[in-house]
Chains A and B, each alone.
Chain A
Amino acid sequence: MKLDSKIPEGPLSEKWTRYKSSQKLVNPANKRKLDIIVVGTGLAGASAAASLGALGFHVDIFCIQDSPRRAHSIAAQGGINAAKNYQNDGDSVERLFKDTIKGGDYRAREANVYRLAEVSGNIIDQCVAQGVPFARDYSGLLDNRSFGGAQVSRTFYARGQTGQQLLLGAYGALSREIARGTVTLHERCEMMDLVVIDGRARGIIVRNLVSGELERYAAHAVVLCSGGYGNVYYLSTNAMNSNGSAAWVCHRRGAAFANPCYVQIHPTCIPVHGDYQSKLTLMSESLRNDGRIWVPKKKEDSEAIRRGEKGPNDIAEEDRDYYLERRYPAFGNLVPRDVASRAAKERCDAGYGVGSTGLAVYLDFADAIRRLGRDVVEQKYGNLFQMYQKITDQDPYQVPMMIYPAIHYTMGGLWVDYELQTTIPGLFAAGEANFSDHGANRLGASALMQGLADGYFVLPYTLQNYLADQIYVGKIKPEGPEFDEAEASVRARLDSLIAIGRNSQDPHSNHSVDHYHKALGKVMWEYCGMARSKESLGIAEKKVAELEEDFYQHVYIPGKPLEMNPELEKAYRLADYFELARLIIADATQREESCGGHFRVEHQTEDGETLRDDQNFMFVAAWEYQGHDKPELMHKEELNYEYIQIVKRNYK
């Protein structure tokens, strides 16, 4: 496998312009003869399909939910970054680029990140033109807020529902193309396999989630916008249907998977409370603009709180430890996510945690309410406060919120080059599904930016460059041995999963899919989560293997393949998660350094910060699938920093 990042020649700030002026184009009459498949209707997929449809290509778009508007992007709360410098506070493309590279702990590719910063402004223009109701100030101009890892205010937002509003904008644009007939929508349809013909991606096999039937679709190119794989940990902030399988089946068909061990843990989520819990709820990072994070200074106080004898308001000001402000005076409560998450874990592990489990810290708005008044706080965060209250039955205007870190986002994903093309020609990946722009840690409000940059402003160019030659191959039909083989293999996979629980001798040794998923999540969180060591990763490897073996002997899936069957859906996604979990562990074991979200306890500074090893690990790990039972093969893409000066990441 050859990894060619295809970074254009020339100075960093001219690469994208040069690329666009020399790329190949498809003439308007030919565009409608070219078919494109887009998997996913989140920000990346919806924006890509709408833009490609508007150009005149024919697009088939697929999603798991009953409507494109329900893709997981809808849940993003806090905001979207863009280097507009509307606040005149010193922002620029250059600065956004540098912040993103530094935030990613120097593990992202310079050229891609620069392009992201370069097109960020266009995204805001586009969204406003679509009618996205961003927050405004009294003059009618756009308002901004700050997010972690930045010292400027460059985050645009629509209350606490930014993802919803951006997605509804893209969904509107998509709906328009559906009405015009350039885009065909297939809702409740799940991609099950990729069809590769003569080395090129030429189609997909999907399962109709209503009837259970398998269907075939052919195209000149396939674009994967299927989101991230955070749910491998079972409990995460991701939606229930978020999954890694679409990317994983492409990986099985030859697409390299990059940096799987880079997983983001978000510092401000509502803590775990019971065994039946199905997901964790995020409290937006924007809350750290005004909320202050603390735990008691005295262990006795923490213990009393855990026993329910004291409440947060009983702890005097001088007995509170605002540990982020103490440790990181320059960034305070706005340090990047990985730093804030580890600091919370450190305090709780040391015995200062609060809540009944001791696995929580306070996020306190008393100061902000005093300073700004309750009304202003309510205007800014009202819906988040309401959400918190509905879940916990506590009033955050009166009592500090309790929060704890949780799995949130995956920086790793399908390896792509500068054109967002994977190692399979004709297969592109965008949004959270690729590994491209965030290195080892993503800054807040940058995923929405990346998804829309990829879809609105990058793919419409780079995909054309690929498609320009494809006009000569004529219409691709969903037939031939490759389609037959792919469909048969999906059918066999489903049949064999359903057969497992029914073959077993003793039905009482059977378990549901969720039983296994919960167990997998616990192992991954415990041994391959916020802190990892050679030893813990060894345990994880062993435990995952045992669980996987048990799963293939005792999972029980009721019902049939040919009907609406959510248990079967969960089962095939979990089967892929087992393979993916093994790869995450292998990648984490291989990476003998700490960087961004990947913290190896063997590699830390004296005061507990990450310790990178640039000499040996300044590379992207791109893994090649070798078969279900074989360890994967790692390839390296060395990262060359020509423009950025590499320094220790310091937020003090």
Chain B
Amino acid sequence: MHFTLHIWRQENARAKGHFETYEIDNISDECSFLEMLDQLNEKLINDHIAHPVCFDNDCREGICGMCGLYINGRPHGNDDGVTTCQLHMRHFHDGDEIWIEPWRAKAFPVIKDLVVDRTAFDKIIQAGGYISATTGGVPDANNILVPKHKADQAMDAAACIGCGACVAACKNASAMLFVGAKVSHLALLPQGRPEAADRVHKMVCKMDELGFGSCTNTYACEAECPKQIKRQNIARLNRQWIGQLFGRDRNN
């Protein structure tokens, strides 16, 4: 297969970026999107055309959340329920033009080319996205019973990989799906209840402080989330938020 690639190039955080066009040939439809970019980089290096394109990636199997490209106007491209590294070239047609950009959000500044700074997500978690269980001195695991459907729901929410596609997809660059997923995961479990009200307060305040926008219920985030995190998590977050305003611990 042959493709025309328009790729965002930006030397560093301070530099101005622009699109650069490259042609690439002989791409197998079994190869992944990132392997296609590997082949482009190999060509750029061997033919001394330009410096290779920087993009984040690590596990290449959809779990670490490190990769994330905005491809033809969609975070993680045109296949549903996958990350960029899981996207395969069989989802494109021979001769396609492909536009490749980094996540665009005030809270995720570009570092270089397609690499962005997502440490804002870590800061939101540091604000309270955990259960305070210091090592040692905890009860036997089976002393805490969790109804299976609650455990399953908690697991659904906990599957978030922190990739940031929800923010990139949102016209307001809101992080509500990401925060809602973590708040839900912990609030659905009995272990997470004691700190639930405090947690939601701290995480939401931090999110606002870091420059993420507000949620206007369009749910582009849900549509683009590679882990299919549900909008119900945002609703749960909102209930928790209102609950804590009135000093109540609302758990579902």
Q: Which residues of A contact B (CB under 8 A)?
A: 47, 50-51, 54, 65-70, 72, 74-75, 84, 86, 122, 124-131, 133-142, 158-159, 161, 164-165, 168, 171-173, 175-176, 178-179, 185, 187, 210, 239-241, 273-274, 276-279, 281-282, 386-387, 390-391, 393, 456-457, 460, 507, 510-512, 514-515, 556, 558-559, 563-564, 566-567
B145 and A140 contact, CB distance less than 8 A: yes
B57 and A387 contact, CB distance less than 8 A: no
Known A-B contacts A176-B132, A179-B127, A390-B86; the reply to A136 vs B60 at CB < 8 A is: no
Which residues of chain B from 155 to 185 have a CB within 8 Å of any chain A CB? Answer: 155, 158-159, 161-162, 185
Known A-B contacts A138-B148, A274-B30, A514-B42; the reply to A564 vs B122 at CB < 8 A is: no
> Contacts A128-B141, A391-B86 given; 12 further ones with Cβ under 8 A?
A51-B135, A67-B119, A75-B63, A126-B138, A129-B138, A135-B151, A158-B155, A210-B112, A240-B58, A273-B30, A276-B28, A460-B135
State A457–B135 Cα separation when bound (angstroms).
Answer: 8
| Interface-central residue, A66, A140, A386, A391, by most chain B CB under 10 Å | A66
Question: Chain B: which residue is nearest A73 at the CB level?
Answer: B64
- 16 CB < 8 A contacts A-B: A86-B142, A122-B136, A130-B133, A133-B155, A136-B148, A137-B148, A164-B63, A168-B158, A173-B134, A175-B126, A179-B128, A187-B119, A281-B61, A390-B79, A456-B136, A512-B45
Which residues of chain B from 104 to 123 have a CB within 8 Å of any chain A CB? Answer: 111-112, 115, 117-119, 121-122
Please name all residues of chain A whose beta carbon is closer than 8 Å to the beta carbon of B119 when the two chains form the complex: 66-67, 187
Question: How far in angstroms is the closest Cβ of chain A from B164?
Answer: 10
B61 and A387 contact, CB distance less than 8 A: yes
Question: How far in angstroms is the closest Cβ of chain B from A77?
Answer: 8
B46 within 8 A of A: yes
State A213–B221 Cα separation when bound (angstroms).
Answer: 37
Please name all residues of chain A whose beta carbon is closer than 8 Å to the beta carbon of B111 when the two chains form the complex: 210, 564
Please name all residues of chain A whose beta carbon is closer than 8 Å to the beta carbon of B75 when the two chains form the complex: none
B59 and A129 contact, CB distance less than 8 A: no
B20 within 8 A of A: no
B118 and A125 contact, CB distance less than 8 A: no
State A128–B111 Cα separation when bound (angstroms).
Answer: 37
B235 within 8 A of A: no
A75 and B133 contact, CB distance less than 8 A: no
Known A-B contacts A65-B58, A66-B56, A136-B151; the reply to A274 vs B139 at CB < 8 A is: no
Main DSSP-derived SS at the B contact region: loop
Please name all residues of chain A whose beta carbon is closer than 8 Å to the beta carbon of B211 when the two chains form the complex: none
Question: Chain A: which residue is nearest B79 at the CB level?
Answer: A390
B142 and A141 contact, CB distance less than 8 A: yes
B66 within 8 A of A: yes
Please name all residues of chain B whose beta carbon is closer than 8 Å to the beta carbon of A138 when the two chains form the complex: 148
Partner of A129, one of B133, B146, B154: B133
Partner of B126, one of A129, A130, A179, A187: A179
Please name all residues of chain A whose beta carbon is closer than 8 Å to the beta carbon of B56 when the two chains form the complex: 66
State A558–B50 Cα separation when bound (angstroms).
Answer: 9
Partner of B139, one of A129, A130, A390: A129
B130 and A173 contact, CB distance less than 8 A: yes
Question: How far in angstroms is the closest Cβ of chain B from A242?
Answer: 8
B81 within 8 A of A: yes
Which of B31-39, B92-100, B239-247 faces chain A? B31-39
B130 and A176 contact, CB distance less than 8 A: yes
Partner of B63, one of A65, A67, A161: A161
Question: How far in angstroms is the closest Cβ of chain A from B76?
Answer: 12
Please name all residues of chain B whose beta carbon is closer than 8 Å to the beta carbon of A175 when the two chains form the complex: 122, 125-126, 129-130
State A75–B155 Cα separation when bound (angstroms).
Answer: 16
Question: How far in angstroms is the closest Cβ of chain B from A217?
Answer: 19
A567 and B52 contact, CB distance less than 8 A: yes
Partner of A66, one of B79, B118, B135: B118
Known A-B contacts A51-B135, A460-B135; the reply to A387 vs B62 at CB < 8 A is: yes
Please name all residues of chain B whose beta carbon is closer than 8 Å to the beta carbon of A281 when the two chains form the complex: 60-61
Known A-B contacts A70-B66, A128-B144; the reply to A172 vs B151 at CB < 8 A is: no
